């Protein structure tokens, strides 16, 4: 019954009799009978052909007027959030919300937030456990952003971002950051795994930069693919599996105090003891942003912004 034609939509389509029996209403043959005898409606229309294809996420199937709910209703969506939309289910100021872009019957919730002025990958689901896996800082699931700054970034500031920036009296976790190759030095990839309010903008503001453009290009390495602003797709099985793998709790890394730069062992004279294998033990903060796995596509999609570095996008507050 669905008119959507993209392939992920087609994968979702299922025969009406199968849908009814899978939902636990009755056995397949009995479902056929229900359909033949006109007791089944799809989107308010009586359907008498058991092989009619329905989309469990979009089509409303009723038997004797009772809505049939699939047993497994978890849905995972990737939305290209455009700028000018809020990431809430309802906005008091009446601004458009990301929910306006997704016409599914199921109630979905965004996994984390994107500012009104930030666009890019927004994941949505009704699976609370998955959402938690993606968002909890313990799982260290990275999100990668393209940021265009008002001026070229200094090497020393990139180091600071990698070490952590103090915001709201608490240091941020180490970001991965890198100037986008072959572009101006004010275009960077930055990856973080926390989700504090306006975190990327505020980290950069702390260092004296204005973020003129911010686009999330990946979340758990899930990118936009060919989506255009405002469009969405279902997450693929592979993306879902890989995202779960990424979120598997990491082994804690224990560091000796001297390596962590706190205190450090003292020699008998009270001076700092010299480490023998300095090179091995030294913690190097050389993390650079993992380039988005869809790097070249992303570069293509943001090429206009990369070329037009004089573009000024007002940083309207939500």
As annotated, the active-site residues are: 115
Q: Report the residue number, 79 or 114, with the smaller CB distance to ligand URA.
A: 114
Contact 239, 137 (CB under 8 A): no
Name the minimum Å distance from CB 216 to ligand URA.
Answer: 6
Q: Which among 277, 293, 282, 236 has a CA at the least distance from the CA of 256?
A: 282
Name the minimum Å distance from CB 192 to ligand URA.
Answer: 7
DSSP 8-state code for residue 100: G
CA distance 159 to 87: 31
- The burial of 193, by beta-carbon neighbours within 10 Å (0-12 exposed, 13-18 middle, 19 or more buried), is given as buried
Q: Report the residue number, 162 or 198, with the smaller CB distance to ligand URA.
A: 198
Name the minimum Å distance from CB 122 to ligand URA.
Answer: 9
Q: Report the residue number, 98 or 214, with the smaller CB distance to ligand URA.
A: 214
Name the minimum Å distance from CB 117 to ligand URA.
Answer: 8
CA distance 125 to 80: 14
CA distance 312 to 79: 25
Q: Report the residue number, 34 or 122, with the smaller CB distance to ligand URA.
A: 122
Cα within 13 Å of Cα(28), Cβ side: 3
CA 23 to chain centroid, in Å, comes to 30
77 beta partners: 124, 234
Q: Report the residue number, 19 or 85, with the smaller CB distance to ligand URA.
A: 85
**Cβ-based neighbours of 27, under 8 Å, separated by 6 or more:** 21
Q: Report the residue number, 17 or 118, with the smaller CB distance to ligand URA.
A: 118
Name the minimum Å distance from CB 102 to ligand URA.
Answer: 18
- The pair of structure tokens assigned to 308 is 């037009």
**Cβ-based neighbours of 64, under 8 Å, separated by 6 or more:** 39
Q: Which residues bind ligand URA (CB under 6 A)?
A: 114-115, 118, 198-201, 214
Name the minimum Å distance from CB 84 to ligand URA.
Answer: 13
CA distance 178 to 164: 15
């Amino acid at each position: 019954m669905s008119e959507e034609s993209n392939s992920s939509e087609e994968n979702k389509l299922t025969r009406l009799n199968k849908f009814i029996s899978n939902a636990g209403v009755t056995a397949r043959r009995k479902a056929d009978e229900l359909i033949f005898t006109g007791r089944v409606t799809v989107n308010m229309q009586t359907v008498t052909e058991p092989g009619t294809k329905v989309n469990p996420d979009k089509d409303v199937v009723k038997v004797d007027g009772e809505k049939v709910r699939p047993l497994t209703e978890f849905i995972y969506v990737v939305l290209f959030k455009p700028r000018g939309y809020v990431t809430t289910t309802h906005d008091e100021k009446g601004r458009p919300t990301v929910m306006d872009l997704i016409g599914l019957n199921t109630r979905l919730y965004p996994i984390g937030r994107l500012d009104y002025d930030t666009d890019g990958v927004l994941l949505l689901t009704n699976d609370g456990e998955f959402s938690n896996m993606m968002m909890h800082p313990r799982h260290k699931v990275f999100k990668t952003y393209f940021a265009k700054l008002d001026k070229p970034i200094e090497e020393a500031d990139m180091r600071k971002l990698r070490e952590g920036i103090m915001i709201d009296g608490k240091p941020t976790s180490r970001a991965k950051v890198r100037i986008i190759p072959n572009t101006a030095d004010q275009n960077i990839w930055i990856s973080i795994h926390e989700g504090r309010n306006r975190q990327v903008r505020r980290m950069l503001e702390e260092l004296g930069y204005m973020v003129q453009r911010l686009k999330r290009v990946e979340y758990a390495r899930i990118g936009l693919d060919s989506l255009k602003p405002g469009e969405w797709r279902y997450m693929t099985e592979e993306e879902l599996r890989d995202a779960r793998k990424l979120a598997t709790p990491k082994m804690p890394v224990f560091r000796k105090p001297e390596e962590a730069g706190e205190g450090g062992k003292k020699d008998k004279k009270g001076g700092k003891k010299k480490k023998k294998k300095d090179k091995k033990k030294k913690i190097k903060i050389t993390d650079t942003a993992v380039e988005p796995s869809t790097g070249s596509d992303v570069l293509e999609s943001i090429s206009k912004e990369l070329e037009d570095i004089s573009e000024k996008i007002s940083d309207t507050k939500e």
